[in-house]
Structure formats: structure tokens, C-alpha cells
Amino acid sequence: MLDLTGKVAFVAGAGSVGEGWGNGKATAVLMARQGATVYGVDVNPKALEDTGAVMQQEGLANWTGHACDLTRSDEVKAAVQDCVQRYGRIDILVNNVGGSAPGDPVSMSEETWDAQMDLNLKTAFLGCKHVLPLMEQQFAQSGKGGAIVNVSSIGCMSFPVEGRVSAAYAASKAGVLAFSRSTAIAYVKKGIRVNTVVPGTMHTPLVEHRLVKQLGAQDAQSLIAKRHASVPMGRMGDAWDVANAVLFLASDEAGYITATQLVVDGGMTAARPGA
């Protein structure tokens, strides 16, 4: 089940912002465990080294890390070309890049708005832009195109009253959903599936690394307890919950699934007003 042997996976955002397991790092390792050859890219070379160290410790030789600014078209194109030169094809593309900046339309600067659009939405566009022609060619030659999984967030689906406002993050992650559905239909007859994983409140290194400071929390433990309590299941998810969802949508078992989203949130969107 969920066997990726013989497949090449291009995983964007394959590092982690700190110690532990971020979504991209977990996805890269899980896909390698399932037999895929994984080409991981990240803007942070040290983060890629950490992912590579895990691969080495587990005896997973089917891994290549490549430092790349995923907001730059030339760098994404070069990474895709390098992957194809090494392995001959790309069967799976995972666009897992993002981060939130607080602010409403008045308080947020234009520079922050533009940077959020680049980080959260343009990266998915550029990944698809440079990988889709290759997958289309593969389908024409062999009848096997590929699977693309983009990562959004429930931050674009429901908004608690008096909660933290991140207008650009919400807009960009909503854009990922629309972009995925539109792209899926554009390529549905070309052997390419496109779906979206929508994580909820997750406990990844981002909490300690970034959110404690952004949210003005007194300490990490109080913020973590508050985030656990906000989830109907009583706990946050983690990177492996996201990685398992990505793995399923990328696998042959999901071969009849496209243009949809898989929400991984412990029931949060269903329990919030306006969900």
C-alpha cells in the first residue's frame, strides 16, 4: 500500500525551520521510506543537510538535497532540470512552502503583502510551471503523467472573531486552493492529478521558532497548551499527519482523485463559525 518504488518525488520546502519535524521534512523522509527517489529543495542549505542526515541515518540513499529560492523562477527551473538530469523524470511534485505574517489591509505594508503572495502562492505556481511540461511529456511517451500536491492552510477557510488577522496569508492560501483546482482541470486529460492538503493547527518547529514571538506569548508551553485546547480533538496535529495526507494523494491509490482538498485539522473548520 502507498508504495512509491520507482517514482521520483520533487519536494519543495524539504527542510525544517528548527529542530524536529516540519511538514516538508517529514514528507520527504516518508516518501523515501515508501521507496521514492526524493529530490528535496529548500532555501536553507542547513535545513537540507539536516534532512539528509536523517536519510543517511535510516539508510535511505535515494535522496538529493538542492538549495533553491523557490520564489525565483530561474532557480526553480535549474533545480527541476538538475533533478531530471539525475533521475530522468519527476512523478510527484509537492509544493510545501509558506509562512504567515500578521496584519490587516491597513496595518500591513505593501512589501509584506507582496512577500506573502510570493512565498505562499507564487512558489506553487513556479513549481507547477516548470514541472507540468515534463509530466505532460511523460504522459505522451509512457501514459504516466504525475501527481501534484500543493499545501494550503485552514487559515484561508474560517476566521474566529477577535482572532489573529493575517489577511495576506489567508488570501494567498485561498489562492493555492483555487490554483490547484484550476490547474487540475486544465491537465486532467493529460495524466496529471493536482490536489491540495489543508493543514490545521499543527505542532511543528514553527511554533517555537516563529509563532511565540509573533503572537506575543509569554512562553512556548503556554502557547502550545492554548493551541492544543483550540482543537476539537484536544490536541494539535503534527508534521506526520500532513505527510501522510500528502503521501496518500500522491500515491496510485488516489488515482481517481483530482481537483479536491484533504483537510487535516482535527475538526477545527467544522467547529468554527462560518466554516
C-alpha cell at 71: 520564489
- Which amino acid, one-letter code, is at 20? G
Tell me whether residue 187 is one of the annotated catalytic residues.
no
Calpha distance 201→19 (Å, rounded): 19
8 Å CB contact between 14 and 24: yes
Q: Is 119 exposed, middle or buried (0-12, 13-18, 19+ CB in 10 A)?
A: buried
Q: Which residues are CB-contacts of 264 (< 8 A; sequence separation ≥ 6)?
A: 197, 198, 199, 200, 237, 241, 242, 245
- Which amino acid, one-letter code, is at 48? L
Encode 143-173: b = buried (16+ Cβ within 10 Å), e = exposed: eebbbbbbbbbbbbbbbeeeeeebbbbbbbb
Q: Is 207 exposed, middle or buried (0-12, 13-18, 19+ CB in 10 A)?
A: buried
- Of 39, 87, 169, 187, which residue is the catalytic one? 169
8 Å CB contact between 90 and 5: no
Q: Which residues are catalytic?
A: 169
